[in-house]
Structure formats: structure tokens, C-alpha cells
Structure 1
Amino acid sequence: MPAAHHITLTAEEDRTLYELSLADGVARRIKRRAITLRLNARGWTTPQIAQHLHQCEHTVRQTLHRWRDGGLGGLWEAPGRGGKPKWQTADIDAVETWLQEPRSYTSVQLCRQLATERAVVLSGKQLGWILQKRATSGSA
């Protein structure tokens, strides 16, 4: 049987975790981690927390280790996770320049030109998403 994991929170830490669990714009997994910590500090066991939050016990233990090793900052994912963009802002600027020319392009033609001139390989759908995101964010 694994050793019991129990943390102790100060009043300030508890308040911070409470506010974090209710905050808008915070990822759901971060909110769950905050709730996990508060429940554990109130004496809930790992299996009780896992059952209550519909998580694996391993996930609960991992959250407790994150807190122990990294404090509040440990609740977020480490940088460097996930896929990296295969394009730079200058590449999309070049595509936008091509789109201002008097001729029209299909997404396949734009992707082919991007691959030929800038050695960046994107699908037409991916290029469309990037251009749409830039247009809605006001970058274009």
C-alpha cells in the first residue's frame, strides 16, 4: 500500500487556490489541481479525491507531487510541451504579401509557393487557420 500523501496549506495558499479554482481564463486541469490540493489539505484521501473528481489515483498523487516540488507554479505545464510551429511570422507575412498581388491563389498554390520559396511545408487547411487567426486577432 502506498504511503499517504497529505499537504498542509496556509490560509493565504488556500485562498489563492480557491480563487484559482473559480477564475475565468484558467485551464480546467489547473482548476482541478487546485481543488485536489484543497481537498487533500482538508483530510480527504487520495482514493476519495480520485473518486470525487473522476480521476485516477495516480493523477491525484501527481498533483500533490507537483505542489510539493513546484508550489503554485508547479500546477501549470512545463514549457516545451506540445508541437512546435513549423512556420515563422515572416513566412505568413510573405503569404499575405502574395495575396495582395493582382492574381488570385488557391490554398494549394500558396502552400506550394511557401514550400518552394521559404522551405515551409503546411497544408492548405493549416494555412487557412493561421491566416484566419491573424485576421481575427488584428495582426493582418
Structure 2
Amino acid sequence: MARSHRRIEISEEDDQRLRELETSRHTCPKVRLRASILRLHRQGWTVPQLSNHFNRNHQAIHNDLTRFSQHGIPGLADACSPGRPSHMTPEIEQFLR
């Protein structure tokens, strides 16, 4: 089932912050991409247009919009992955102490 036309509100202040993220060479590429998506969405681009332009599926665009609407600018960054589980056993830890 297709989703209805989706719009989220992005304030002028947030748009300025998104622009800074979008143009900063120090910003993670994924965050820069999400900032670009949000800025174009604010200008009226639809999910299908964004999906075609960025060569991403519709669900990925919806996920980016949802992350922003739920968490704001901080939601654009990926959470830290937990990594591999430790191989340190209690015996090894005790030996090292």
C-alpha cells in the first residue's frame, strides 16, 4: 500500500543548521546526504523525487524524514554500533590485574 503524501516541517533555524552540515567537509558523508535530502524536502520535493535524485529507495527516504521528525538534527547521525563481543573471560581479566 502506498503512503499518502508526506510533509514534515523544517524551521528556518534547522534549515540553516542543515546547510552547515551539508556544506562542511568535516561532516560524515551519510549525515551530509541526509541534510541534503531534508533541505530539498523543505523546498517541496516529494519522496519519489528524492528517491530518484539520490538513487535511494522510498523507505530509506521515509526513514530519514522520520529520524529527523523524531530526533531533530542529532537524529541524522547513526548510533554507535556495539562492535564485536569481548573475548575477555573473567580468568583473563584476573590474570591481567
TM-score for both structures, normalised by structure 2: 0.80
How far is 1:4 from its partner? Answer: 1.8
Matches within 5 A, 1:36-75: 36-75=37-76
How far is 1:84 from its partner? Answer: 3.8
Aligned residues: 91
Give the letter aligned to residue 9 of structure 2. T
Compared with structure 1, are the counterparts of its residues 39 and 83 closer, same or farther at alpha carbon in structure 2 (3 Å cutoff)? Answer: same
**Partner of 2:3 in structure 1?**
2
**Partner of 1:83 in structure 2?**
83
How far is 1:24 from its partner? Answer: 1.8
How far is 1:87 from its partner? Answer: 7.7
Greater relative CO (CA pairs within 8 A, separation 6+): 2
Q: Structure 1 residue runs of 4+, over 6 Å off?
A: none
Contact kept? 1:7, 1:37, Cα under 8 Å: no
Q: 2: CA distance between counterparts of 1:87 and 1:75?
A: 32
Contact kept? 1:50, 1:60, Cα under 8 Å: yes
**Partner of 2:19 in structure 1?**
18
Q: 2: CA distance between counterparts of 1:87 and 1:26?
A: 33
Q: 1: CA distance between counterparts of 2:51 and 2:65?
A: 12
Larger Rg: 1
Gaps of 5+ in 1: 89-117, 120-140
Give the letter aligned to residue 18 of structure 1. R
Kindly provide the CA deviation profile for residues 80-116 of structure 1, in whole angstroms up to 9, marking residues without a partner as x: x25247489xxxxxxxxxxxxxxxxxxxxxxxxxxxx
Give the letter aligned to residue 28 of structure 1. P
TM-score for both structures, normalised by structure 1: 0.57
Secondary structure in structure 2 of the residue aligned to 1:26:
coil
Contact kept? 1:30, 1:76, Cα under 8 Å: yes
Secondary structure in structure 2 of the residue aligned to 1:25:
coil
Contact kept? 1:21, 1:34, Cα under 8 Å: yes
How far is 1:36 from its partner? Answer: 0.7
Q: 1: CA distance between counterparts of 2:58 and 2:51?
A: 5
